[in-house]
Amino acid sequence: MPTQSTSPHLPFGENKQADWYGKDIISVKQFKREDLETIFDVAHEMRGMVERIGTFDLLKGKILANLFYEPSTRTSSSFTAAMERLGGSVIPINEVKYSSVSKGESLPDTIRTLECYADVIVLRHPETGSAEIAARAARKPVINAGDGIGEHPTQALLDTFTIVEELGRLENLNVTMLGDLKYGRTVHSLARLLSQFRDIKLNYVSPDILKMPREVMDEVTAKKVPQAEYSSLEKVLSDTDVLYVTRVQKERFEDPADYEKVKGAYVIDPQVMQAAKRDMIVMHPLPRVGEISVDFDDDPRAAYFRQMEYGLYVRMALLAMVLGKA
């Protein structure tokens, strides 16, 4: 009889020796290639478990505080779904105006409060560096769900997982990031994370005022990963394996007139995509506001909805890891 290979080996005891037990997730700089392999293995198992049984009790009794000072649909609800699918529960604070933050409470005090009730805190905040400040105040693990224009590490992990699941490799890749590379925190994290891999080339296509920050490019250069900047997509589209499209981050502009100048700079539609390979993928962290036409959604290369689903499995893996259960 064939052996059943479907049963995942997820130990139910808390493993305090595990590398990620009790750790904060603040920046992609914390992750080495070996860590990604572990996360993706666990995420893969999570996917299998969700498909087979939906919800299971790995994190039963654990509580997540989901603290969002900025709007969110995917990140917030996928962390909630991840915790609940693992049998845990969630304190949702999506509208800080109904919390003591509106009375002027500081971030460290809010964090100290929530960790009295929760085992792990997910934080989205408009200021770069806020996740680090929160982590310093907390004894429990803090997971950065976006700190202003800084980083969005769990998004970069799910983006990288998406590339592996869709294309089967993390090498020999031409990755083109398109749109608002200045204010888009997802591309800051993704460029840094991908720079750990060999045979990757990064292309940045943006309007002049929305270029990838020098600081991120310098870090990528230090890893010896080739990168190049363009203002037009045409030059690189036909060689691209992963086209990562981003929204122009209206809320981050100091001068609204600047936003108006660049808002419709690039639009991906079936016609533009005729110049691209057949075996490439188009990704987007979402939400989109016009930069990918809905007419492209049915194209098999449109990976952005699948990308959202991969996010659930990666976040399940991360929660299990920091809580010592993976």
Q: Which residues bind ligand NCD (CB under 6 A)?
A: 74-75, 146, 152, 155, 185-186, 247, 285-286
Residue placing its CB nearer to ligand NCD in the complex, 140 or 284:
284
User: CB 155 → ligand NCD: shortest distance, Å?
Assistant: 5
Residue placing its CB nearer to ligand NCD in the complex, 78 or 110:
78
User: CB 176 → ligand NCD: shortest distance, Å?
Assistant: 17
User: CB 256 → ligand NCD: shortest distance, Å?
Assistant: 17
Residue placing its CB nearer to ligand NCD in the complex, 186 or 203:
186
Residue placing its CB nearer to ligand NCD in the complex, 112 or 306:
306
Residue placing its CB nearer to ligand NCD in the complex, 186 or 196:
186
User: CB 290 → ligand NCD: shortest distance, Å?
Assistant: 12
Residue placing its CB nearer to ligand NCD in the complex, 112 or 288:
288
User: CB 122 → ligand NCD: shortest distance, Å?
Assistant: 12
HEC readout, the chain: CCCCCCCCCCCCCCCCCCCCCCCCECCHHHCCHHHHHHHHHHHHHHHHHHHHHCCCCCCCCCEEEEEECCCCCHHHHHHHHHHHHCCCEEEEECCHHHCHHHHCCCHHHHHHHHHHHCCEEEEEECCCCHHHHHHHHCCCCEEEEEECCCCCHHHHHHHHHHHHHHHCCCCCEEEEEECCCCCCHHHHHHHHHHCCCCCEEEEEECCHHHCCCHHHHHHHHHCCCCEEEECCCHHHHCCCCEEEECCCCHHHCCCHHHHHHHCCCCCECCCHHHHCCCCCEEECCCCCCCCECHHHCCCCCECHHHHHHHHHHHHHHHHHHHCCCC
User: CB 57 → ligand NCD: shortest distance, Å?
Assistant: 28
